[in-house]
Structure 1
Amino acid sequence: MTRAVGLIAGNGIFPILFARSARASGYRVVAVAHEGETDPAIEQHCDSVTWVKLGQLGKIVRAFEKEGVREAAMAGGIAKVRVFGGIWPDLLALKHMSKVRNWGNDDLLRTIAGVFEEEGVTIIDPARVCPEIVAREGCYTRRRPSEELWEDIRLGYRVATAVSEADIGQTVCVKRGNVVAVEAMEGTDRCIRRAGEVGGKGFVVVKVAKPGQDVRFDLPTIGPTTIETLAAAGAAVMAFPAGLAYVLDEAATVAAADRAGIALVGLA
């Protein structure tokens, strides 16, 4: 029997790209998709899809048990603001909610991963199945940052590292030595749009992983829709850590950045 891999799918294109890559590598993909978050097109790319409400951990475990899944990856995000509403915890989730010290991404996701492992499902790094998504060092695009932009990148990296260490967000936007936007609960896209509104065109976006980041979930992710947001807001550069970020659908992402005149840089 073909080996099964589980997919806990959030929003965006990452779940579909993961499923395509997994099937191309010979896996049978058993997905659990979240209502109101996951693209319904996921059903075209998986061998099995179970739809759940956010918080139905028991239903996820039962779906994986039924299909013989012992390893699963998380791919795609969930809107952070849903921690304040829109969660339907089942008995398994309620049993473990008291273990969550705070509701920041890192602690919450580690707790959820621990629940699955107690139930016999190991959460794996998605790059084990699709290693081509891992960001590499260097400039991806025709446009390369000027020295002035590099100064903003360095400042943005320092600030973003501090912000991510506090589990607040991953993204900081800088222009001419000024921090113009910092990501919090609103997410990366809204942070970038706010930077364009506040600072105008020509700003730098730096997205980082948290120090000591668990690579199984919530690494910085850049894809074609990220470029659309950057272009609409007037960003000049997007920088991210090599080895600790994902570039999704690289050919399409780089082509879109080149058309928009945006530099994409993987930082050592």
Structure 2
Amino acid sequence: MKIGLLAGSGSLPLEFLRSASERGAETVLFAIKGITDAGVFSYADRVYEIEPFKLGRFLSLVKKERPDRMAILGKVEHSEALSLKNLDFKAVTFLFSLRDRRAEAIIKGVIKEIEKLGVEVIDPTPFLAHLLPEKGVLAGKLDKQLERDVEFGFRIAKEIASLDVGQTVVVKNGVVVAVEGIEGTDKCIERAARLAGRGFVVCKAARKSQDMRVDVPTVGLSTVEKISSLGGRALCVEAGKTFILDREKFLKKAAESGVAVIAV
């Protein structure tokens, strides 16, 4: 089987390619120049590097390769697509054809374009099941106040994610301090720390009807380091619908830093 991957930044594409290769698949990487981590390249059987937002070029390469299946993984800054810089004609006409330009709408639109070529875009979780956490306290301990903030924050995060505003909400003592917008998770946490000081709780959730092909919540070592460095108390994620990268190092760092990690 030939499996294609359109890869943004981060190590999630690497995890997918490694898992696909272990299952005997031939892998084709469609990398985005300046965005896809170069360390991912060696894990693919074949690599095409595409200038950012050259949708026409990407689709022509997919048509040439004709993979049996494809996945889309990794981060591309939403703000870059909205700037309309460096877009080719296909990308411009594609964006103006969308009803709105939320992240989910853009990615689902790209999926439709790929599937018009007869290539199925798959849910990648069978290849990444080892990254999905089970329910429970994964690091640290809960007290009553922390338990209340986790419950409250996660409920708000779920609503915000379902509106496709952002996946992350930061709370403290029953108050919403910051909601993630287009700036991303790290900037949201930094803003919350400035507003609330130490002791905040970061909650990250999937959409209520999460399509696992599209923008699945992901956390890693840098997330814990950011929370720890700014005095956060805890990170709450959604069990079974959040990818935890480098899980062993992630949980070790959380335990050492005194950051509780809870999957709900």
Q: Same fold (TM over 0.5)?
A: yes
The aligned runs of 1:73-92 (5 Å cut-off) are: 73-85=71-83, 87-92=85-90
Which of 218, 227, 252 is the aligned partner of 2:224? 227
Matched-pair contact (CA < 8 Å) for 1:9–1:38: yes
1:73-99 per-position Cα deviation (integer Å, ceiling 9, x unaligned) = 111111121123264333443453343
Instruction: Write the letter of the residue equivalent to 2:9.
Output: N
Structure 1: 4+ residue segments shifted above 4 A: none
Give TM-score scaled by structure 1 length.
0.92
Q: Provide the rounded CA distance (Å) in 2 between the counterparts of 1:95 and 1:191.
A: 31
Partner residue, 1:180: 177
Does the alignment pair 1:237 with 2:230?
Answer: no
Q: Which residue of 2 aligns with 1:257?
A: 254
CA distance, structure 2, for counterparts of residue 89 and residue 122 of structure 1: 25
Q: Which amino acid aligns with 1:126?
A: P
Kept after mapping to 2: 8 A contact 1:170/1:183: yes
Cα distance between partner residues in 2 of 1:103 and 1:54: 17
Call closer, same or farther: CA 1:96–1:85 in 2, change over 3 Å: closer
Cα pair distance change 1:213/1:196, threshold 3 Å: same
Specify whether residues 58 and 84 from structure 1 end up closer, same or farther in structure 2 by C-alpha distance, changes over 3 A only: closer
Spell out, residue by residue over 1:227-256, the C-alpha distance to the aligned partner (whole angstroms, 9 max, x if none): 221222222111111122111221121112
Aligned-residue identity in percent: 32
- Deviation string, structure 1 residues 12-33 (Cα, Å, up to 9, x no partner): 1111122222222222221111
Q: TM-score, normalized by length of structure 2?
A: 0.93
Unaligned runs of 5+ in 1: none
Q: What does residue 107 of structure 1 align with?
A: 105
Tell me the residue number matched to 1:10.
Answer: 8
Q: Does 1:215 align with 2:221?
A: no
Alpha-carbon distance between aligned partners in 2 of 1:222 and 1:243, rounded to the nearest angstrom: 13
CA distance, structure 2, for counterparts of residue 154 and residue 10 of structure 1: 32
Distance (Å, rounded) in 1 between the aligned partners of 2:133 and 2:211: 16
- After TM superposition, list the pairs within 5 Å mapping 1:11-50 onto structure 2: 11-50=9-48
Match of 2:149 among 132, 148, 152: 152
Q: Aligned equivalents of 1:122 and 1:99: distance in 2?
A: 22
Aligned length: 264
Q: Deviation of residue 147 (structure 1)?
A: 1.4
SS at match of 2:41: helix
Do the aligned residues in 1 keep the contact of 2:66 with 2:119 (CA within 8 Å)? no
Give the superposed CA RMSD: 1.7
